[in-house]
Structure 1
Amino acid sequence: MKTSVQTPAPQSLMQPAAQGRATSATAAMTMPAGPWTGRHELWQHARGGAVTLMVLAAFIAGLAAAIWFASFFLYASVRVNPFHAGMWGWIDAARAWYAGGLPKEGRRIAGSALFGLLLAYGAPGAATYALWGSSGRRHLYGSARFASEAEIRAAGLL
């Protein structure tokens, strides 16, 4: 003997559940399936991924610039032509110091790395602040001066 199982009737988007429960129309609303669903979320994920890749590329470019600047400053500090340093000069010196080949050069290597990092990451930030930081704003302090005689006469004070 076969028993039939009743399936619930499909609900409309705006009607609450038909089983006597009081539900709001917003709780019963669902997004209808169609070809446009999911594209918005996909676009937001793609945009987030693109922003992440751009930030990562900027970080890697800054790191490469920092290594080159560190090599430049290291070679200049030992009085060698800094333009002969190349990209790997600082890394080679750091590896040689770690292996014990340059025992007294640790401070010079660390200092050149610090200068390289400051120049590679600090200079763009400082330039951005200098260009857009205080453009068009009035000075709150430090712009006071004495009035000239012509300004005093124009104000009718003399």
Structure 2
Amino acid sequence: MDTQDLMLTQQEKRRRLRYHALVLLVSVAALMLAAAALTAALWLASFFLYASAHLNPLHAGFHAWPDAALAWYDGRLPHAGRRIAGAALFALMLAFGAPALGVCTLIERAGRRRLYGSARFANEAEIRQAGLL
């Protein structure tokens, strides 16, 4: 094995290492975003549950929704099932749907031209450059 073959294998190893490092970085970032969205959804579910019970929703912590769901499951809140499920559904839609909608809107608008163009009056320098003055 000569030095050129050795260099190729070293370069190939570095390229593979960079690829796997990038895949790891993207995976960790995606997991962190998902964890942050789930945390936000849990707080939002507690917020909406407090608001639906006519309590101050700013006092809702991360524990209110799971506590209410466990109490409903144990039978201590017999008529609150729809309220608990609605708060969770709305919170999940808001925590995951709003950022996804924002990203889709940004991507969709990126390649679009202006609706009515970008017409404006030419200034004197542009008129001279066109040879009209």
TM range, normalised to the smaller chain? 0.7 to 0.9
Q: By percentage of residues, which structure has more helix?
A: 2
Please say which of residues 119-128 and 48-57 is displaced more in the overlay: 119-128
Shift of 1:100: 1.2
Which ranges in structure 1 are unaligned for 5 or more consecutive residues? 1-9, 13-30, 144-158
Partner of 1:28 in structure 2? none
**CA RMSD, Structure 1 to Structure 2 (Å):** 2.3
Partner residue of 1:88?
Answer: 63
In 1, distance between residues paired with 2:71 and 2:108?
A: 43
Q: Rg: which structure is higher?
A: 1
Percent identity of paired positions between Structure 1 and Structure 2: 46
One-letter amino acid of the counterpart of residue 118, structure 1 = M
Q: Which runs of 4+ in 1 moved over 4 A?
A: none
2:108 pairs with 1:137: no
Across the two proteins, how many residue pairs are aligned to each other?
Answer: 112
Q: Does 1:33 align with 2:6?
A: yes
* Unaligned runs of at least 5 residues, structure 2: 117-133
**TM-score when scaled to structure 2?**
0.74
Q: Deviations over 1:35-74 (max 9, x none)?
A: 7241111111111011000000000000000011100000
Output the TM-score relative to the length of structure 1.
Answer: 0.63
1:100 aligned to 75, 80, 102, which one? 75
